[in-house]
């Protein structure tokens, strides 16, 4: 079964990303699941080597105790992981700042994976 997870929330200020990555980690353990994760909008910060935090968020340190980059690194090799290139550019970082195992995604790639997925989860 092909599962495609789209994440749009930032890695801080809430539990959405942590929940998405926990589900992804569990799905990646199933040998019958082909998993892909696409990070877009503020979720691209999850894949940044030196994660920067937006100003004005409530208690960002609390939400980061789980470390989105570490969770993504654990998925590397068991899932395809992409960060939206346009979203990265709008936030001022480049491909060489991405974690190992994370590729740059495009809208065409997003549409292709969504069309081929048996299950599509959005966070």
Find the CATH number of the domain harbouring 114: 3.40.1260.10
Sequence-distant (≥ 6) Cβ neighbours of residue 101 within 8 angstroms: 72, 73, 75, 76, 77, 81
In this prediction, residue 12 carries a pLDDT of 82
pLDDT digit string, tens, across residues 73-117:
889 889 999 999 999 999 998 999 999 999 999 999 999 999 999
Q: Give the range of the structural domain holding residue 41, as residue numbers without chain letter.
A: 2-122
Domain count, the chain: 1
Give this prediction's pTM. 0.87
């Amino acid at each position: 079964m092909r599962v495609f997870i789209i994440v749009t929330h930032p890695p801080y200020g809430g539990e959405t990303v942590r929940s998405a990555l926990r589900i992804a980690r569990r799905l990646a353990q199933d040998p019958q699941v082909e998993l892909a994760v696409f990070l877009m909008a503020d979720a691209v910060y999850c894949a940044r080597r030196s994660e920067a935090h937006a100003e004005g968020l409530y208690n960002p340190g609390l939400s980061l105790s789980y470390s989105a980059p570490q969770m993504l690194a654990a998925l590397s090799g068991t899932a395809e992981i992409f960060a939206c290139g346009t979203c990265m550019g709008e936030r001022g970082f480049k491909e060489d700042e991405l974690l190992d195992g994370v590729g740059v995604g495009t809208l065409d790639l997003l549409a292709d994976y969504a069309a081929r997925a048996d299950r599509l989860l959005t966070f």
